Structures are given as C-alpha cells and as structure tokens.
Copies of this chain bind each other. A is one copy, B any other.
Amino acid sequence: LPVSAALFDRFLSTPEMVDAFGAPALVGHMLAFEAALARAQADEGMMTTADASTIASACRIEPIDIEALVADGIVAGTLAVPLVRRLTAAVACVDPHAAGQVHRGATSQDVIDTAMVLATRGALAVIDADLARLVDALLATARRHIDTPMLARTLLQPALVTSVGFKLAGWIGPLVRSRQRLRTAAAAALKLQLGGAVGTLASMDGHGPAVAQRMATALGLPVTTPFSCWQTQRDEWVALGCEVGVLCGSLGKIAKDIALCAQAEIGEMAEPVATAAGASRGGSSAMPHKRNPVAAMTAIAASMRAPQRVAALLATMTQEHERGLGNWQAELAEWPGLFLSAHGSVRALADAAPGLAIDAARMRANIDALQGLVFAEAAAAVLAQHVGKAGAHALLEACSQQVIAGRRHLREVVGERVAADAALSKSIAPAALEAAFDADAVAARAGSLAAGRLDGLLPVHMALG
C-alpha cells in the first residue's frame, strides 16, 4: 500500500498517524460513506435492500488504483468524482440497475468531509491514548519529586527556588485540559457531512434528514437535530484544529523546558537513552558525551509547525457561497499535517516521559552555585520586619555585591552583617535568617501548592479514561 506522507513529515510523526490519514484509509472511509449512504437510503425506501447490498459489497478499497485515482481527480477537480465513477463501474458489473443508485443525492464534499471526520476520529483516539500515557508518567514523576528543590528560571535566568513537583504540575495542567477540550471540540466537530449539491439535500426526495440520521448512527457519529450540514460552516471543524494547535504549544513548552534542563551545563534532566525496545536514542558515536534530546526535538518541531497549520485552517474559513473555490481544498490538504505533527509530539514525549531522568543532586548543586543570591528576596523579607523594606533592600544589595565580587555565600555575608549590628542581632534570630536560605523549605511550600493542583487535575484526567 502506498505511504502517504512526505519523508520529513514521517520523520516527525508516527506510523499510526501516517496511516490514519493515508490514502488507503481516506479512500476506505469514502467507500464506507457510500456503503452507509446506500444502506440508509434502502432503509428509507429510496432503493431496494438488494441494490444497497450490491453497492455496499462493491465498496472495497482493493481494486482502487490510487495513483490513477489521483491523476483523474486532478482533472476532475475532485477526488470523489473518479472514485464514484470507479464504484459505479464496479457495481454495474454486478447489477447495472444498482449502479444507478450509487452516491445518490450526495455531493463530493459529503463523501470527502465525512471521510476526513472518520480519519480524524481515529487520529484523536490515538493521540488521546498517548496523551493519557504522558500525563500518567508526568504525574508519577511529579509525585516522586513533589518537594525536590530546583531552580525556577525566568527570562532564561535563575530566579528563585521551586520544586520539581511544582514545575511538572505546570506541565500537566494544560495536558489534562487539552484532553478535556479536545473531547468537547471533537464532540461538536466530528459530524456526518451530508447536504447534497448545495446543502439542501435536494435530491433525497424529502428523506434527507432521515437518511442522515441513519448514516450517522451507522458510522458511529452523533445524530444532530435539527439536521445540519456544515459544507461552508467550518467553525466547529476549525475550532477542533485550533485545539490540536494548542496542544502542540503545551507540549512544545514541556519539550523546551526539558531540552533546556538537559543542557550539559545545567544537567538537571535527561531523556532516556534507550527506547522501550532497548534501541539507543539520541546518541552520537563520534561524540560520546552527546545525549541529544530527540523527543524534545520532535515536540519542539511540532510546536513550530502547528501554529502555521492552524493559521491555514483559519484562513480557509471564508469559503464562498455553498462550496469554496480553493479554500475547502486547501483546508483538506492542511488538516492531516496538523495531526501528523501533534501525534509525533505526543508520542515522542509519552515514550520519553517514563524514563525522564531527574538529577536532584545537580539541581541542588545549581542552586548552591548561585551562592544564596536566589534567596536574597526571602532574606530581605526577614530583615524588612526590623529595618523596613527600603533598609532591608539596601542592606541586601550591599551584601549581594559582596557575594558577587567574592566567592562566598549570601547567608554568611548577611549573617556577619547582622551579627555586627547590635540592634539587628538582637531582634533577628539566626534561625529565622537561616530559614530564608532553606531550599528544602521553599521547595516544600511549592510542593504543597503543586500537590493541591495535582489533586485537582487527577479526577479530571481519570474521568477521561
């Protein structure tokens, strides 16, 4: 069977997703639409059950030469026309009368949009499964390191101390919410398309809505009442695409954090060096120290591509009248790439997350290397109770200069200052000052907040299966 994705798209995706939107899958879904249409019309008395069976039996992917189909589709201006032609011919071999019933009252867009819906439903299921797996792994790590101190960093500079659990809670929240919002968006968007030539189901002899209901049921899609097609009303469809884009952004943020923490000079996190199957990942034979964060790489790539895909989908929404010229077709072509990227990203991180190494010692060392300066704000708060905010600030500034100039720890420098000042040393207990420099305590407070968040997220995550 032909593989339907470009080389570097595949490199950044997964076989499942390549298959989900592959030509065979899409053509298969198109044929499933035709079969369901015939059966529904038979049930509504628009054709005989025999004709419907004949048609449904002919809805097989095997005889379709996809190369020729594409070539004919380019000439026809739609892939559905040559497919229906082939199907009709196949039916005609068995029963010429039944051939006259093929694709009755439907239009190209009905077939193709529904096929995309079916492919997307499958794609989302695969994405959600890996997303759940990723959340599980991150939850486990977050719980394990709920209070482990690590540097928080803002504008790529160390700021204060936080905890690994707090950081990971920040990763997990958007993922759980994405699972939820994707469900909601999918429930609205994954609908049968059936409108006939201009959306009015004009050639269904009034049976249109009933046929649509039967088809939706047969294909496992929601029955919408009142009947509604969405040939040039793409808002729910594109809103689903937006959610996939948002997911890629949230995953990209995690990936970037991992990659930054995995820098040799920081060394706080590392992707696993082997796949579950034991194959070596991200290594370089020529550079033995290299441990390339290839899962992060894939997720970052997705986060750079998805925004543009979403933009393309939004740009195609202005579809003229009852079927767009070029914009519908552009939307069809842009849609799968978004899912290829998204699943590549989710899969890469879900595979890496269980083996994500957290180097607590290195985290501690990186905190220590800042000589207590990351606790300056906390120390100032202690002093401020006695010398006022301005005074405390001035004192800390002086101490910090001393720390930066020398190689000493801020705790010592401040301690000396306090000790040297009678008033201060009387009012400030050494333990209070010491506490301001206690990374564990700071991390534990962050961890406590994180635990609360995780407790809030868990039931949502569990409820999503």
Q: What is the CB-to-nearest-CB distance from A246 to chain B, in angstroms, rounded to a whole number?
A: 5
Question: CB within 8 Å of B: which of A367-406?
Answer: 369-370, 373-374, 376-378, 380-381, 384, 388-390, 393, 396-397, 400-401, 404
Contacts of A300 in B (CB 8 A): 318, 325-327, 330
Contacts of A202 in B (CB 8 A): 160, 377-378, 442, 445-446
Asked whether any CB of chain B lies closer than 8 Å to the CB of A299, the reply is yes
With both beta carbons as reference points, the residue of chain B lying nearest to A173 in the complex is identified as: B233
**Is the beta-carbon distance between B79 and A11 smaller than 8 angstroms?**
yes
Q: What does DSSP make chain A's interface, helix, strand, loop or mixed? A: helix
Cα–Cα distance between A393 and B225 once the two chains are bound (Å): 34
Given contacts A6-B6, A226-B456, A260-B321, contact A170 B232 (CB under 8 A): yes
Asked whether any CB of chain B lies closer than 8 Å to the CB of A187, the reply is no
Q: What is the CB-to-nearest-CB distance from A297 to chain B, in angstroms, rounded to a whole number?
A: 5
Contacts of A317 in B (CB 8 A): 246, 249-250, 252-253, 303
Q: What is the CB-to-nearest-CB distance from A132 to chain B, in angstroms, rounded to a whole number?
A: 17
Asked whether any CB of chain B lies closer than 8 Å to the CB of A333, the reply is yes
Q: How many copies make up the complex? A: 4
Asked whether any CB of chain B lies closer than 8 Å to the CB of A408, the reply is no
Q: What is the CB-to-nearest-CB distance from A350 to chain B, in angstroms, rounded to a whole number?
A: 14
Asked whether any CB of chain B lies closer than 8 Å to the CB of A343, the reply is no
Q: What is the CB-to-nearest-CB distance from A371 to chain B, in angstroms, rounded to a whole number?
A: 8
Q: What is the CB-to-nearest-CB distance from A444 to chain B, in angstroms, rounded to a whole number?
A: 11
With both beta carbons as reference points, the residue of chain B lying nearest to A243 in the complex is identified as: B239
**Is the beta-carbon distance between A75 and B275 smaller than 8 angstroms?**
yes
19 contacts between A and B (CB under 8 A): A2-B2, A3-B4, A5-B6, A7-B22, A8-B336, A77-B282, A96-B390, A155-B293, A162-B199, A174-B235, A202-B377, A238-B246, A239-B243, A250-B317, A288-B400, A289-B373, A289-B400, A304-B312, A308-B312
